[in-house]
Structure 1
Amino acid sequence: MKMKALLFSTLASALVLTGCGGGNDAATEEGGSQAGAKTIKIANYFAADHSQNVALEEVFKPMVEEQSEGRLKVEIYENNQLGDEAAFTDGVRNGTIEMVIAGMGLQANNAKIGVTEWPYLLEDYDHANEILNGPIGEEIAAEFEEFNVKPLGYTANGFRVVSADEELRTLEDFKGFRLRMPNVPIFLEVGEALGANVQALGMSEVFTALEQGVINGQENPYASLVNSSWYEVQSHVLETNHMFSPNIYLMNMNFWDSLDPELQEIVEQASEETAQYQWELAVQSDDEMKEYLTEQGLEIIVLSEEERQQFVDAMDPVYEKLFEKHDWAEELVNRIREQ
């Protein structure tokens, strides 16, 4: 995918990276020349040329390795190399993996973690950034600590759209449509509210399922649609923007506690700068991704305000259920909508 690599390379060169430089690589304790060096293995499910990994390679890794003067080494394991999201999330909790870029999958154990993914709640990237990087975001991030992880910053996966092997435009079109969604309750409920035949599959299974017609489509941000090459077996995109998906840097709490205050500060600052850089890449990439998909022959359907409102209204039963189930939910949703 030369085009995708060029895209992110172009975006990266246009932004000034602070605190980044060519440091000396540290070696691990097992096989290295520098005794006491610690390795931070970072696992994620994104393709190597996705903005998440571009940001890690161009900001986090050099910043941490240089500023720690070789006391920390960073190894990046993209594209499910250390297992799918459930596996590497378990790994960061139990300490077999030092750090991950996770979605909000832990909301299955603590619903408050996933509130920013609730349908049609965040309006645009500016609103999402303001919420996640403000007091509400801090309040939600604190919920992760019960799982033995240290939250280090939010990144932008993006607003989710529906790709399909046929034209979709109305709720009626979703009847009988086999739609892949993550195996997370809020996603499944949103898919059902759309009227789709929801299929829960892992990210690594999506391409084959699309190619073989097991599913008709999937929903994810534009970057995932392009970087995972799903567009090769799809013909249409419906720009629903029905949910915003953030990601979060999580570090094993025991590993975090093993770092001295100076190293903690280095990791924290690098996480902040990397997250902000990735956010900028994600925002800039959407238009480029749409243009690329159009060039590949996909038709992108943008809803009118009236058409979009039908989708918004279809989520009322989802919110009624959430408000009934969680006594904190309505107040928190109102705070987010008012900000």
Structure 2
Amino acid sequence: MFRRAVRFAAAAALAALPWISTPSQAQEWRGWNIHPPDYPVSRGMDRFTELVAQRTNNRIRMRTYHSAQLGQQDEAIQQMRIGSIDFAEFNMSGLNNIVPSTQVLTLPFIFRDVAHQHMVVDGPIGDTVGEDLEKAGFVVLAWYDAGARSMYGRRPIRTPEDMRGLKIRVQTSDLWIDIMRALGANATPLPYGEVYTSLQSGVLDAAENNWPSYESSRHFEVARYFTTTEHSNVPEILAVSRQRWNRLNPADREILRTAARESAAYQRQLWAERERVSREKVIAAGVQVIDITDRSPWARLMEPVYAKYASDPRMAELVRRIREAR
């Protein structure tokens, strides 16, 4: 009787530890991604899920639903927070209103170049923002590239003065609304999937994004002028729902982190190549590219944005650390 009681107590103790997983406990995970399957982000996520499946002997089987099959980003963010989506790749701007420190990474002209951005997000500053994201329900595993964002529209934009009065699509973020206001434009928050028809119909005059998004969404068909303002170089996160993360044992957590970092290195290589190819494609299709060589007139207009979003001592310190990172 005593031995039976001991065995029962041991079994009960194990059952009370939901984070412990064993080889017999297969898990099916659902993942969200807004991009089409051949996009660099999508291929990076596919590499991540393949590595996790291999290294867990298929105990953790992940399926990524590409092309926003599970909803637009705002919807997916909420699903992630309640645990109905297990993992996702998010643009930082969509998280600005939930996690204030993410706003620093989306400030205009905050990064000198791509190498500077990688140094920042892969180091202690990225860890600081990651800790804030985890408190909100997102466990950051790795940082993906999203490229420099520039303006494109139905008519040429050559100077900041050309922005005045334009209706420009932005993501659902107070920061992005204020950036457009600083340029004298009318910010129009819209889901990504509605941008093409809105440009086509004249509801929008312009939008802003990177080369691959501009090309893969075919926005170049209805917005024939691309201006290389490169006003923003916002990183993206590959993250797991905190609810799902809390049910993993330490060994599986390390498998996920390692696989995610390897997938990020792969995604960044794909991204650099895709940027080059996308630019060549749209130019061949007749798009007029307006190259901006001096961005200082644009950057000077962002002073009110920094005053609003980086005046808090903690945000100001993050800005200082980013600018001083070498």
- Matches of 1:323 and 1:272, distance apart in 2: 29
Do residues 146 (structure 1) and 135 (structure 2) align? yes
Per the TM alignment, residue 327 of structure 1 is displaced from its structure 2 partner at its CA by: 2.1
The equivalent of 1:332 in structure 2 is 318
Of 65, 78, 86, which residue of structure 2 is paired with 1:90? 78
The equivalent of 1:310 in structure 2 is 297
Per the TM alignment, residue 35 of structure 1 is displaced from its structure 2 partner at its CA by: 6.1
The equivalent of 1:51 in structure 2 is 40
| CA deviation map 1:2-57 (0-9, x unaligned) | xxxxxxxxxxxxxxxxxxxxxxxxxxxxxxxx963111211021122210001122
Per the TM alignment, residue 284 of structure 1 is displaced from its structure 2 partner at its CA by: 2.7
Q: How does 1:64-83 map to 2 (within 5 A)?
A: 64-83=52-71
The equivalent of 2:280 in structure 1 is 291
The structure, 1 or 2, with the larger RCO (C-alpha pairs under 8 Å, 6+ apart) is 2
Letter in 1 for 2:198: A
CA 1:70–1:109 in 2, change beyond 3 Å: closer, same or farther? closer
Per the TM alignment, residue 61 of structure 1 is displaced from its structure 2 partner at its CA by: 2.1
Q: Whose radius of gyration is greater, 1 or 2?
A: 2
CA 1:125–1:323 in 2, change beyond 3 Å: closer, same or farther? closer
Aligned residue for 2:304, secondary structure, equals helix
Letter in 2 for 1:70: N
Contact between 2:98 and 2:136, CA under 8 Å: does it hold in 1? no
CA RMSD of aligned residues (A): 1.4
- Matches of 1:328 and 1:262, distance apart in 2: 34
- Matches of 1:109 and 1:73, distance apart in 2: 29
Gaps of 5+ in 2: 1-22
The equivalent of 1:133 in structure 2 is 122
The equivalent of 1:118 in structure 2 is 107
Of 83, 95, 105, which residue of structure 2 is paired with 1:106? 95
The equivalent of 1:175 in structure 2 is 164
- Matches of 2:142 and 2:297, distance apart in 1: 34
Gaps of 5+ in 1: 1-33
- Matches of 2:133 and 2:222, distance apart in 1: 36
| CA deviation map 1:189-244 (0-9, x unaligned) | 11111111211101111111111111011101111111111111111100001011
Letter in 2 for 1:251: V
Per the TM alignment, residue 283 of structure 1 is displaced from its structure 2 partner at its CA by: 2.3
The equivalent of 2:306 in structure 1 is 319
The equivalent of 2:14 in structure 1 is none
Contact between 1:99 and 1:251, CA under 8 Å: does it hold in 2? yes
Aligned residue for 2:58, secondary structure, equals coil
Contact between 1:49 and 1:227, CA under 8 Å: does it hold in 2? no
The equivalent of 1:270 in structure 2 is 259
TM-score w.r.t. the length of structure 2 is 0.89
Per the TM alignment, residue 117 of structure 1 is displaced from its structure 2 partner at its CA by: 0.8
Identity in percent: 27
Task: Report the count of equivalent residues.
Answer: 302
| CA deviation map 1:158-205 (0-9, x unaligned) | 110111111110111111211111120111111111111211101111
Contact between 2:104 and 2:309, CA under 8 Å: does it hold in 1? no
- Matches of 1:65 and 1:304, distance apart in 2: 46
Per the TM alignment, residue 84 of structure 1 is displaced from its structure 2 partner at its CA by: 0.9
Q: How does 1:198-217 map to 2 (within 5 A)?
A: 198-217=187-206
- Matches of 2:299 and 2:203, distance apart in 1: 28
Could you tell which deviates more after superposition, 245-254 or 233-242? Answer: 245-254
Letter in 2 for 1:40: W
- Matches of 1:283 and 1:35, distance apart in 2: 40
Per the TM alignment, residue 88 of structure 1 is displaced from its structure 2 partner at its CA by: 0.9
- Matches of 1:296 and 1:203, distance apart in 2: 22
Per the TM alignment, residue 114 of structure 1 is displaced from its structure 2 partner at its CA by: 2.3
